[in-house]
Structure 1
Amino acid sequence: MKALFHVDFDSTSTFELALANIENFIKDVGDAEVAVVANGYAVKLFVRSANPKFAQKLVELNEKGVRFYVCNNALNLHGIDKENLFEFCEVVPAGVTKIVELQNDGFAYIKP
């Protein structure tokens, strides 16, 4: 199974829900491909210094194979240098384009 989780708001409660959904999905399904696409204000959630609260959980999910894609357009809009992101984040030119690509590749779209 393939699942795409889309986050676009800088909301702690929504992000916590998304991370819990991802954990529950992996626990329930087992072998799954999971991607997270962050665009808009949500790119702020992947800045190392701004979000130590989520660091361990993100590392654990990455070690389970979860891929994290962060929108470069949103990074530029918010003045965030990609060097400040968690090292496992992959910066993509446009988050919305990555969402379409993943859906075309069979990923189910989930919006927590």
Structure 2
Amino acid sequence: MKFDLVIHVNANDPNVFRLAFSQAANYKKEALLKRHKISPLDIAAKAGLVALEEPETFKLVMVVNGPAVQQLVKENSELLGKAQEAVANGLKIHVGQCAMNSYHVEKDMLWSFVEVVPSATLDLVQLQNSGFAYMKV
């Protein structure tokens, strides 16, 4: 089973971002627990009766567009700690250049770990087409 997840945020609200960061942390914890539960297949593999499968890895990406891009700026120290913690735990944050242009946000204004993509909408489509599940926060 593939556990990749894209979290979509487009609200200019710090509470929505707090919820999104919390959802990412909870998802990672639950996916890791699910992945490490011992099944009959695991027991058979450990007994040498079947081949042991490689543990699955998964990716977490937050795609930010619309007015929400205004929350990702260096001046927003209120959310920075939560974002840094989420990124340290594997979350990647993508922001759309189109939204940045619309809301007059320059690349040097963003947190250093935010990746700029040409279009957040196109990024969402590409991630979903490559197997990511979609969650809107």
Normalised-by-shorter TM-score class: over 0.9
Alignment correspondent of 2:72:
46
What is the correspondence of 1:1-112 to structure 2 with a 5 Å cutoff? 1-30=3-32, 31-49=57-75, 51-112=76-137
TM-score by length of 2: 0.78
Q: Is the 8 A contact 2:18 2:82 kept in 1?
A: no
Deviation per CA, 1:6-57: give whole Å up to 9, x if none: 00010122221111111110111125310000000111111111x1111111
In 2: Cα distance, 1:70 partner to 1:88 partner: 11
In structure 1, runs of 5+ residues without a counterpart are none
Deviation per CA, 1:47-75: give whole Å up to 9, x if none: 111x1111111111111111110010011
Offset of residue 94 of structure 1: 0.6
Offset of residue 104 of structure 1: 0.6
What secondary structure sits across from 2:93 in the alignment? Answer: strand
In structure 2, runs of 5+ residues without a counterpart are 33-56
- Matched residues, number: 111
- Alignment RMSD: 1.0
- Highest CA radius of gyration, 1 or 2? 2
Q: Is the 8 A contact 2:117 2:123 kept in 1?
A: yes
What secondary structure sits across from 2:87 in the alignment? Answer: helix
In 2: Cα distance, 1:6 partner to 1:60 partner: 18
Q: Point out 4+ residue stretches in structure 1 off by more than 4 angstroms.
A: none
What secondary structure sits across from 2:112 in the alignment? Answer: coil
